Chain A
Amino acid sequence: MRLTQGAFSFLPDLTDEEIRLQVDYGLERGWAWAIEYTDDPHPRNTYWEMWGTPMFDLRDGAGVLHALNECRKACGRGYIRLCAFDSTRGVESIRMAFIVNRPDEEPGFGLDRQEGEGRNMRYRLHGYAADRSPEERYRADP
């Protein structure tokens, strides 16, 4: 199941050159890029792991691409996204985010039914990624 979160997620995966153009677009507007990764992209999992600190004062996309490639080397089996932080007063928030790396096989989500009191029906969304054993989830990449 293809994960559709953030910008461009209904398009084919961006190439590195395209990613770089997007990064340059953000840098031109003075946004700071940050790299985040996770193995469980549950829609309510807002805070992904940070790869290093957000990169302030950059002028060129090559620096972000360099850091991204390091992150891919370390956690290429998970999801990686780029977030652009806009520090303008009154905004001070993420302006743009898009996925730049996906696992070869995306585990997807399952919908569980749970019977409550009085024939009530509750639904729960859970990522299959979270079903795997901790050894498998947190194993370091070869």
Chain B
Amino acid sequence: MSADQTILAARESSALTEGTIDLQALLRESDVQSVLDQLDRELIGLAPVKRRLREIAAFLLVSRARKQFGLEVSPPSLHMCFSGNPGTGKTTVATRMADILHRLGYVRKGHLVSVTRDDLVGQYIGHTAPKTKEILKRAMGGVLFIDEAYYLYRPENERDYGQEAIEILLQAMENHRDDFVVILAGYKDRMETFFRANAGMASRIAHHIEFPDYSEDELMQIAQLMLAQMNYRLDASGEQAMREYIERRVRRPNFANARSIRNALDRARLRQANRLFALPQAVDQVALSTLSAADLHASRVFQELDAVSHGETT
């Protein structure tokens, strides 16, 4: 080890003792554990995603340790693809990802720039490149999150400017690898089509993370977590109704996992407000924060099923 490196390593941290590095100390120093714990607490389910995040965190810590010994030559490529059905937490995880990468010192600022096709692709010739480059500049030092990335590629229109945006993006992903991290997100099957058509993109993305659908139990936990965050709670009958609601909602079309649950809860809150207004007496704090079965049973999900059971066709 050269004199320079020794000084550097000594200044870097107290974790280094006579040619060994205490990874646990490095982990404590980076404060990344608290983000991972928060992730465990606030995100229900998503076991494969959390496992992958831990792997990436460990990998970055190890590569930082290797750097102290001068073993690491180039920074690892961390561009990612999040695929999963709607409402499975892709955006939420991306925000956390920016935080994790920042604490591990992989990105300098740790902000998230969230864009869709409209922000990258222009409307006329010569409009796309400046637009995409501006977004790239804004994302530098942080994470660029491209939601529904498959819209960038429109095979039915060969003069579509999306291809131009993809090319600029590819170039930046290669040349500015240590300046920013790109996360593409979208539904699984359409992302696969996208990658088949853009081999360059597929080969530059090292981490493909799949977001599984939530089970009914997990959805119930999510509902309770959301309500707790909004300072509401379900009474015994409400809890039962929520379970029934989830059971039926899952089987209906356009089911969007956690997002559907959030919408259902928002509607239930509206109905609860209406119900409280109709009450003759004054309401107390408990009444104001309790959702009961009546608020949920008024949902369309139940009504339509009832309609079917009564033999009505409309």
Contacts and interface: CB of A to CB of B under 8 A. Distances in A.
A142 to B, nearest CB: 22
A110 interface: no
Given A62-B176, A62-B179, A66-B176, A57 B138 contact: yes
Interface string A55-75: 101111111101100000000
A30 B142 CA distance: 17
**How would you classify the secondary structure of chain B's contact residues: helix, strand, loop or mixed?**
loop
Interface string B137-158: 1101110000000000000000
Contacts of A64: 137
Interface residues of A, number: 13
Interface in B130-181: 130, 133-134, 136-138, 140-142, 176, 179-180
Contacts of A63: 136-138, 140-141
B223 to A, nearest CB: 35
A5 to B, nearest CB: 26
Contact of B142 (A52, A53, A55, A59): A59
B109 interface: yes
Number of contact residues on B: which range applies?
10 to 19
Interface string B110-141: 01000000000000000000100110111011
Contact of A58 (B108, B130, B140, B176): B140
A112 to B, nearest CB: 42
B103 to A, nearest CB: 16
A62 B141 contact: yes
Nearest to A60: B141
From B138, B142, B180, name the one whose CB has the most chain A CB atoms within 10 angstroms.
B138
Nearest to B134: A55
Nearest to B138: A57
A53 B130 CA distance: 10
Given A58-B137, A60-B141, A66-B176, 5 more contacts: A60-B109, A61-B141, A62-B179, A66-B137, A66-B179
Interface of B: 108-109, 111, 130, 133-134, 136-138, 140-142, 176, 179-180
5 contacts: A59-B140, A60-B142, A62-B179, A63-B137, A66-B179
